[in-house]
Amino acid sequence: MDVLNLIGGRWIEGEGAEFADTNPARPSEVVARGRFASVPEVERAVAAARAAAPGWAATPHHARAAVLVAAADLVDRSAEDWGAELAREEGKTLPEAVAEVRGAARILRYYAGEADRESGEIFASPRPGENVLVVRKPVGVAGLITPFNFPIAIPAWKIAPALTYGNTVVWKPSSLVPLLAYRLAWALTEAGLPDGVLNLVHGEADAGSAIVGHPGVDAVSFTGSTAVGRAVIARCGELGKPVQTEMGGKNASVVLADADLDHAAEQVCLGAFRSTGQKCTATSRLIVADRVADELLERVAERAARLVVGDPLDAGVEMGPLVSSTARERVSAGVARAVEEGAKPLAGASPVDREGWFVPPTVLDLPGTGVDFWRTELFGPVVGAVRAASAEEALGLANLSDHGLSAAVFTRDLGVALQAVDRLEVGVLHVNSESAGTFPYVPFGGAKQSGFGPKEQGRAAREFYTRTVTVYLGAPA
């Protein structure tokens, strides 16, 4: 399959280096090929977006919404086929991949619904004959940079609000997942999106830097690593442009002594191992009450050991490979370092004996919080556990991180659950469910080094993709 760049309504090959998109379960298998966009082509994409911006902003909101609905229908109809391509390209199991494609369609429909919701506010004025209106306008050209791990869902939750609120887009997806990016861009153009409103440029760091630093890009939304995200924040600060980042996570699940241990073990494993742990909200740290720690860890380790690891397209497979050889090397090195520092492997000690970038679902009993594993995001199917003497200590340990994206607390005590709401320094909190997972109609984003700028999803996205104008509307004299 050949994938193309989209600039100004034209599908083009690109002037940059050739790339091959390979199957992480069978690295010798090429899923798609193409050429990266050059920096001059990125600049042409920005110019196309700027030229299209006035017309798209002036298009009635319901007409913009109709394009999103039509695109959602195309995505839904293609879910099985595109889900299989997603599994081959990124490594998710087929059921997860198909669900992600259908989730992208739901996101498009949600933001199409913004056309039927209030678009401004009116306030009373203390002056006679005057009202105060707050109206919203698009910010202009949005530069969007998306990661590999949700190759159609995360782009949808950035592109859909950008478009519904009247912005034009220059989008660079991860170079690891060009095929699903091509599919989503095709659906939007096929649905009737005018030329130049959405521009897709495949590329690596130079393309991303060109988007972030371009004076024709009015706002930047980035999802990826904390290190790169902080560089994006700094560059946008220099240029004085709005920026929204969703970065890394080192998410904790807290299991207290009164929890349903079977349920907690199941949910911890879902949070740690689904999507091969390649979620920013995946469970990475496990904090267990002393009194039930041995029992809970035994159940988690048993579940991890029973997981079926293999080709994500095969029936019954519960966990696929990591996305690349680099990812496998990083995760394997992180586990080895933890063991050197005193961690005891409870599951995952033996490597997966098959072709591809596989690692086993791994459970580590940590000697304490001083090990590197407690601080460093591995982005793989590995969870490390420590013990806590009390709920108070457990919540304190959960906060012992530079990241603050998501957390989960398992307890039957409503008072402790409310205490967790007050104390935990995260943007997303689950009580008695896994740390991963979000709905498109509620805000998503993290605290501390996990996020910066307005939240994503739900109506929170409006705060980033629009600017307000306060209008003092008085009657003529």
Catalytic positions: 246, 280
Q: How far apart are the first and last CA of the chain?
A: 67
Cα of 159 vs its chain's centroid, Å: 13
CB 382 within 8 A of CB 284: yes
Judge whether 408 and 428 are in contact, CB under 8 Å.
no
As a whole number of angstroms, the distance between CA 97 and CA 79 comes to 9
* CA-based R_g, the chain, Å: 23
Instruction: Specify the 3-state DSSP secondary structure of 408.
Output: strand
Nearest alpha carbon to residue 219 among 466, 448, 460: 466
> What does each C-alpha distance from 336 to 330, 341, 419 come to in angstroms?
10, 9, 36
**Token output for 144:** 């969007």
Angle, CA 245 vertex, CA 196 and CA 59 arms, to 5°:
30
Query: What would the two tokens of residue 53 be?
Result: 């911006």
Are residues 194 and 52 in contact, defined by beta-carbon separation less than 8 angstroms? yes
Tokens of 137: 């306008």
Please, what is the angle between helix 178-190 and helix 153-164, to 10°?
Answer: 30
Round to whole Å and give the CA distance between 214 and 211.
5
Distance CA 270, CA 282 (A): 9
Sequence-distant (≥ 6) Cβ neighbours of residue 205 within 8 angstroms: none
Lookup: tokens for 441: 């109609």
CB atoms within 10 A of CB 410: 26
Among 317, 145, 161, 311, CA closest to 233: 145
Contact present, 219 and 235 (Cβ < 8 Å): no
